[in-house]
Structure formats: structure tokens, C-alpha cells
Amino acid sequence: MSGPARRLLIGNWKMNLTVSDAQAYARTLLPRLKVAGDREIALAPPFTALGAIAPLLKGGPILLAAQNLFWEDEGPYTGEISGPMLQEVGVTYVLVAHSERRRHLEETDRAASRKVAAALRCGLQPVLCVGEDEMERESGRAATVVQTQLARGLEGVAPGAAPRLQIAYEPVWAIGTGKAATPAQAAEMHALIRAELARLLGEAGPGVRILYGGSVTPANVDELMRTPGVDGALVGGASLKADEFARIASYR
């Protein structure tokens, strides 16, 4: 079963670009970007740059995304950023449990579940990231790992929320390595995720977009986006160069 027709591509800057760099990037990218009606494009800068580039993107073809959020709306949580804060700045999408947060910050499936719930509660559209590492794939546990991350991360999500939910499949072994999953590997895992979404959300499952993330480049984006079951892309390193991301966003 295929997913939604409208694709979503998100440029995740990670911990890169100062406010002035981000503004310069946006001014460079916008004239180069011609967004077709069959896709949405979003940028996920660091928290410090959200407010600075929001006015530059407002009313244009690029939406604003955030790289993380906390599971409470306010309170004594030093260093955290809440959903209402993101929404006020103009954020539409928010990444949840990116593999780098799982690995470096020990983010758990339980935390992911609470963050997905917080994003939905605040009117944001969460992008739950799932994926196996190299050892898990080589040992034949990739499917089990991803199914578990989905089941736990989406615990308590009602089927009615499906149209606002995105899943990003990001094989950890492909992130920042230049070694993207093959179209066959991506198609196989996206089909597994689609089946798991049907189990978890019933008839609402097909309303969830499944993005691919992991060394997406101008050289492979066309083939990846033609791959069955791929509803978009989560782009890392290549999104830091305006020309490269413009080409990715204009995939054919």
C-alpha cells in the first residue's frame, strides 16, 4: 500500500550555521528554489536561528521545522524548548528522536513517545525518526528494531492524528557516511514500516508519510524519490549547501 501523494523534504542543519549564516543561506536558497505542487520543503535550523529566518520564509515555499522539543509545555526544565515556543516562532514540523539524539544523548523510545504526544498536542507535526545501526542490520535484527521503535514511539497516538504524523526511516549506518541505502533496501524497510503503521493505526496508516534519511545527495535523490514507498527525504549534510539542497528539492 502506498502513502500520500504529496512528498516532504526536510533539510536538517543539525548543530551548524550561526544566525547570520542562516540568514545568508535563506537569502541564497530562496531565489534558487522552484517548488512544485506535489511536494513540501522545510528547513530545520538550530533553535537559535528559528526566529531569525522565520520572517525570511514567511509566505514563501519553505516551511520551518525544529530539530527537537521537550515533552512538557512549560516548567522548570532548564535548557529545553517547548512546543508552544516553537509554534509561536512559526514552526510546522519537528523532528523527534533523531538517531544522533538517541546515540549521543541517550534518548529513549519512552521520551520519543512523550515528545510525539507533545508535538501533536501543540498543533505541530512530528517527524518520528527510526532506524537500525550497522550491527543490528548485520545480525538480522533491523526489522525488529524498527518495529519496536515505532510501536513504542507511537504509543497512545490516535488514528485521527495520522495525517499530522511523519516517520523518517534513517538507517544509522548511512547517516553522514556517504553510504546511502540502496533503493531495494529503502523499499523493503518502508514497506515494513507501512505495514506496522497499518497495524498500529488501522485504516489511518496510509495517511502517514514515510521519509528516507541517510546520505541523501543530489546524485541519488532522483532514484530514491522514485523508490516505492518513499514519501520524502530527511536531508543532513547536503542541506547545508544552498545549491545542493535546491537541486535535491527539485528532484525529478
Residues 6+ apart with CB under 8 A from 150: 128, 130, 167, 193, 196, 197, 200
Catalytic residue among 98, 100, 136, 244: 98
Residue 104 bears catalytic tag: no
Helices (H), 171-226: 183-201, 221-225
Residue 170 bears catalytic tag: yes
Catalytic residue among 40, 107, 136, 170: 170
From its phi and psi, is residue 202 left (phi > 0), alpha (psi between -120 and 50) or beta?
left
Give me the phi and psi of 64, to 5 degrees please. Answer: -105, 135
d(CA 212, CA 205): 17
**The three grid cell numbers given for residue 35, joined into one nine-digit string:** 517548488
Residues annotated as catalytic are 98, 170
